[in-house]
Chain A
Amino acid sequence: MQAPLLETQRVSKYFGFPAVLNVSIQVNSGERFGLIGPNGSGKTTLINVVTGTLPSDGGKVIFSEKEITTLPAYRRARLGMARTFQIPKPFISMTLLDNLTIPLRYAPHAEDLNADIADEALHLLRLIGIESKADKRPAELTQIEMRKLELARALALRPKLLLLDEVMAGLSSSEVDELLGILRELNQQGITILMIEHIMRAVMTFCERIAVLNAGEKIAEGTPEEILHNEEVERAYLGE
C-alpha cells in the first residue's frame, strides 16, 4: 500500500486553549478530502499548521514521506503544497497577470519556464476562466473572480496537494457548480485536494472522504454517507 501524501500525527496547537488537539488525518494521493466542523473547531488552524503558517505545539506533519513539522512555509510550498486563504490575499496594486507572474517566479519550476512566465500566467488565468481580466486589478473583480484568482495563484506552484479554505463561501449555487467543475478537472489531472467548506452540497458531492473536527478534536471520519448519518456530527455541526 502506498504511503499517504499528507499525514498529521497527533497534531496540536494551543492559543491559550487547545485550538487543535491530537488530530491525526491521512490524505491519500489523488484523493478529494473534506474537513468540516463548527466555526472555531480548528479547521483553519490545522491547515495553518500543515502549511507552516503557524508552528505546531505537538505532533508530526508528514508530506510525501518526509517529516516537515518544523520546515518554514516556503519550503513546504516547494515540496508541492499550496493553499488558499478564506479572505483572498492578492497583491492589490498589481494586475492579475502580475499576481501570477510573482508566484511563478518563485515556483520550483521557474527555471524551466524562464521567458515563458507571462505565457504560463496567462495559461493559468485561462484555465480558471478569468483571462479577460488579465490587465485588471483585483479591486475590479467580483467575489467569484477573486476566489478564482486565489485559486490560480495557488496553482502557479503546480502543487501535488491543494488546500482550499472555504473557496466557495458566499457563492450562489450556480457559481459553486462552476467552481466544483474546475476542481474536478484539477483532481483528474492528479492534484490531491483537501477542502474546508460549509456548503454541504459541495462537500458531500465532491469529497470521497471527510473528517469532522469539533472543539479542536476529530470526532468522526468517513465517507459523505457515513458522515451524514453520524449522530455526533449532526448534533455538533449539521443541526436539524
Chain B
Amino acid sequence: MVNRLIVNNVSAGYGAVRILHGVSVSINEGEIVVLLGTNGNGKSTLMKCIMGMVQPDSGEIYLESDGKRIDLTDKPSEEIVNLGISLIPEGRRLFPGLTVRENLVAGAYRKDARKQLEENLRFSYETFPILEERKNQLAGTLSGGEQQMLAVVRGLMSNPKILLVDEPSLGLAPIFVSHVIHKIKELKEQFRLTVLMTEQNFNKAIQIADRGYIIVEGKIKFEGKNTKELSEHELVKKFYLGV
C-alpha cells in the first residue's frame, strides 16, 4: 500500500485576495515532486494550506496511510506536524534570540522526534559544519545564508516522513546549493523521505526531482510525469531556461 499526500481541488486566499483556484496535486511516498512557477502564483500558499496555516475555502487535503484516510483540513498545524509532515518555510523564520542549537532543538519538539534528538543534531552539524562551529551563537547573528542552512536542517529535526520545502537554495552560495539539493536526495534514498519542493533554480531541482507541476496564477497549468516532460514545456523554457 503506497502512502500518499493528496490535495484535491483546493481554493484558498487571504481576505479578498484569492490565491489558489481548484488546485489538485498528489505526492506518493518516496517521491520528490517539484512545484514550479514564478513568484506570486501560489506555491507558498499551497504549502501553508497543507500545514494548516491557511484554511482552504474549499477542497480536500488528506493523507492516505495504510489504506486509512486522514483529513488534514480540520487539523491544527501542530497535529499535522505530529503526523510527520514538516515545512521549511520561505524567509527562514528562525528564532533570532535563540542559539543555533536551541533552534534545532525547537525543531525536534514533536514527540516522535525527541528520541532521536542527538542523532538528528549530529546529522545537522554534519550537513553544515559551520552550524556546529556556531552552535552557541544567536541565530539572529548568523549571516543570511547561514540562517538559511539552519532553517533547512531545523525542518528536518522533526524527523518528517513528508517534507515541504519552500526555496531551499535561496541565498546560498553555489557550492552549498548543490550540497542542499543532494542532501535532500540522500534523505529520500536512505529514509524514503517524501518531498514537495519549490525551487527557482530549475537546473538543480530537476537533478533530484521525479516529476512536477507548473502553477500559474493559482492553477495547475501542467503536470510533468518526469523531468524530461518538464524541461521541454514551453512555460519552463520561458520562466527558467531563458529561451
Q: How far is the CA of A172 from the CA of B203 in the complex (A)?
A: 11
Decide if B175 touches A237 in the complex (CB within 8 Å).
yes
Among A37, A174, A240, contact of B238 (Cβ-Cβ < 8 Å):
A174
Q: How far is the CA of A11 from the CA of B202 in the complex (A)?
A: 37
Binding-face segment, B58-66, B109-117, B165-173 = B165-173
Say whether A40 faces chain B, with CB atoms less than 8 Å apart.
yes
Residues of A within 8 A of B38 (CB): 144, 171-172, 174-175
Residues of B within 8 A of A166 (CB): 144, 171
Say whether B240 faces chain A, with CB atoms less than 8 Å apart.
yes
Q: How far is the CA of A131 from the CA of B69 in the complex (A)?
A: 47
Say whether A39 faces chain B, with CB atoms less than 8 Å apart.
yes
Q: Which residue of the partner chain A has the closest CB to B90?
A: A170
Among A39, A145, A240, contact of B173 (Cβ-Cβ < 8 Å):
A39
Say whether B200 faces chain A, with CB atoms less than 8 Å apart.
yes
Decide if A38 touches B176 in the complex (CB within 8 Å).
yes
Decide if A39 touches B176 in the complex (CB within 8 Å).
yes
Say whether B39 faces chain A, with CB atoms less than 8 Å apart.
yes
Say whether A111 faces chain B, with CB atoms less than 8 Å apart.
no
Q: Which residue of the partner chain B has the closest CB to A15?
A: B141
Residues of A within 8 A of B174 (CB): 198, 200, 237-239
Q: How far is the CA of A238 from the CA of B176 in the complex (A)?
A: 9
How near does chain B come to A176, taking the closest CB pair, in angstroms?
Answer: 9
Decide if A198 touches B241 in the complex (CB within 8 Å).
no
Q: How far is the CA of A140 from the CA of B238 in the complex (A)?
A: 25
Say whether B81 faces chain A, with CB atoms less than 8 Å apart.
no
Say whether B149 faces chain A, with CB atoms less than 8 Å apart.
yes
Residues of A within 8 A of B223 (CB): none
Q: Which residue of the partner chain A has the closest CB to B40?
A: A142
Decide if B149 touches A39 in the complex (CB within 8 Å).
yes
Residues of A within 8 A of B39 (CB): 142-144, 170-172, 175
How near does chain A come to B211, taking the closest CB pair, in angstroms?
Answer: 19
* Also in contact, A238 and B175, with CB within 8 A (given A172-B38, A175-B39): yes
Residues of A within 8 A of B67 (CB): none
Say whether B178 faces chain A, with CB atoms less than 8 Å apart.
yes
Say whether B2 faces chain A, with CB atoms less than 8 Å apart.
no
Decide if A40 touches B145 in the complex (CB within 8 Å).
yes
Decide if B144 touches A38 in the complex (CB within 8 Å).
no
Decide if B40 touches A174 in the complex (CB within 8 Å).
no
Say whether B142 faces chain A, with CB atoms less than 8 Å apart.
yes
Residues of B within 8 A of A15 (CB): 141
* Also in contact, A172 and B173, with CB within 8 A (given A39-B144, A145-B40): no
How near does chain A come to B109, taking the closest CB pair, in angstroms?
Answer: 25
Say whether B239 faces chain A, with CB atoms less than 8 Å apart.
yes
* 24 A-B residue pairings within 8 Å (CB atoms): A36-B173, A39-B148, A39-B149, A39-B173, A44-B144, A140-B17, A142-B39, A144-B38, A144-B39, A144-B40, A170-B200, A171-B38, A172-B39, A174-B38, A175-B38, A175-B39, A177-B242, A198-B171, A198-B174, A237-B175, A238-B174, A238-B175, A239-B174, A239-B178
What 9 A-B pairs have minimum CB-CB distances, sorted nearest first? Answer: A39-B145, A142-B40, A239-B175, A143-B39, A40-B143, A38-B173, A172-B38, A142-B39, A170-B170
Task: With A39-B145, A173-B242 given, name 7 new contacts (CB 8 A).
Answer: A36-B173, A170-B170, A172-B200, A173-B241, A174-B38, A174-B240, A239-B178
